Structure 1
């Protein structure tokens, strides 16, 4: 195999992955002409890539001739989620040992938040999250931490597509207010949630620093135990764990 062939092969794989990421960023569906504009690739090249991805079920064609992410990506995503969870357990256990509250690892999957790892608090009254379930990101500290890693324009697109339902009276339901909240998260490096998903529950979350992986580590517990003193102790713990997880997972 010549150097030219190897370079061409790598370029083709890179272009195919670029197309999948572009469609994902657009909400999971896209027309060919929009793919071409976003990738700056000519239409014949887009046609060849998309045809291959459709043949392998990584994309599927919709009745309106747009293309959507395909079923083959689902088991790959599930496997990746399981790997993330198993590799994070030791770090999450350290958080629980030090702070005594439930620790979670969350990921951004398309426009939604999904919890991929959890180590529960040993206390009788504790928080539980269903692993693998997709939930709205705007009312959770982990969602704020994850969305803080994106541009405001992309965040507004996500919020427009999935909505901002009011789960409790404390839930942020204004895009402008949420964007302002993300600015604070970026400044402080920590996201906070005070009864926005469930009344009487406090959650803190730190984004896992990575240019590619969208992950966040969090702790949650009842307001009576999540005192200001515990929150102050939690901040460096979460940041340290997020940094270590970045080296392991990102």
Structure 2
């Protein structure tokens, strides 16, 4: 990683690079792997990692490998809330354009958590609230997010959650669900058709290049979110996701 940026502190840049490499490795990695991947000498790696351990951002496992530490959870929760704050103006535009409730959700472990919402002005609307957690196989945002993962990871997640039915229309068979994810990748958007809540349809897309896996959605009564409405709403939803992605990228530069 370059340290030539004006005002840059090389050790901080290197420390964050190591944290990102740990995350990319699934949360646990050895010092030799960090050294090989980063190109830094092993003594430098050891010194940086020990500092991160002392601060609680990294922990040493019994097998002497290193893993992301518990203090990162607090930072992640704060970042998730901030992501929701940045998304709200775009969700409000979605409500203005579609008339339906707009949400943003993240994949947090094996669950989907809603981090931002702009409610519809209609008296009949979806009542998902910020902070609510649902299993991803039964929600439009969850299906959109899982469609970005390799099938082996999806199968492992489904095995852990058990795929309980939220309604009679919830997909509860892993093979059928993986077929649904193939369809989502082809279409470019996900549909929750009465699968999380009876009488409610949801259209969802992922936010490209989001710093954490995120999706936005439009939800409302099935009687309003018809196939005809879907054809009009999906391009608006996709455009909003692209503009939100550009705004998040600009925030990170």
Distance 1:11 1:66 in 2: 19
Tell whether the 8 Å contact from 1:18 to 1:39 is kept in structure 2 after alignment: no
Q: Which residue number corresponds to residue 119 of structure 1?
A: 118
Q: Which residue number corresponds to residue 207 of structure 1?
A: 206
**1:119: Cα distance to partner?**
0.1
Distance 2:150 2:34 in 1: 16
Aligned residues: 241
Alignment of 1:44-193 (within 5 A): 51-60=50-59, 69-193=68-192
Describe the shift of the 1:49–1:183 C-alpha distance in structure 2 as closer, same or farther (beyond 3 A).
farther
Q: Structure 2 length as normaliser, TM-score? A: 0.80
* Consecutive unaligned residues in structure 1, runs of 5 or more: 25-29
Distance 2:45 2:134 in 1: 33
Tell whether the 8 Å contact from 2:114 to 2:131 is kept in structure 1 after alignment: yes
Alignment of 1:36-51 (within 5 A): 51=50
Describe the shift of the 1:128–1:169 C-alpha distance in structure 2 as closer, same or farther (beyond 3 A).
same
Distance 1:91 1:203 in 2: 17
Tell whether the 8 Å contact from 1:166 to 1:172 is kept in structure 2 after alignment: yes
Distance 2:32 2:151 in 1: 24
**1:159: Cα distance to partner?**
2.1
The alignment partner of 2:125 has SS state of: coil
Distance 2:46 2:189 in 1: 43
153-162 or 57-66: bigger deviation: 57-66
Describe the shift of the 1:17–1:176 C-alpha distance in structure 2 as closer, same or farther (beyond 3 A).
same
Q: Which residue number corresponds to residue 13 of structure 1?
A: 16
174-183 or 184-193: bigger deviation: 174-183
Tell whether the 8 Å contact from 2:104 to 2:216 is kept in structure 1 after alignment: yes
**1:37: Cα distance to partner?**
7.1
Distance 1:141 1:153 in 2: 20
Describe the shift of the 1:123–1:152 C-alpha distance in structure 2 as closer, same or farther (beyond 3 A).
same
1:247 and 2:246 matched: yes
Deviations 1:50-100 (A, max 9, x none): 654432222456789887654312221222122111211111111111211
Describe the shift of the 1:87–1:9 C-alpha distance in structure 2 as closer, same or farther (beyond 3 A).
closer
Deviations 1:104-163 (A, max 9, x none): 111122332111110000111111223133321111010111111222222222223333
RMSD: 3.1
The alignment partner of 1:247 has SS state of: helix
Describe the shift of the 1:236–1:213 C-alpha distance in structure 2 as closer, same or farther (beyond 3 A).
same
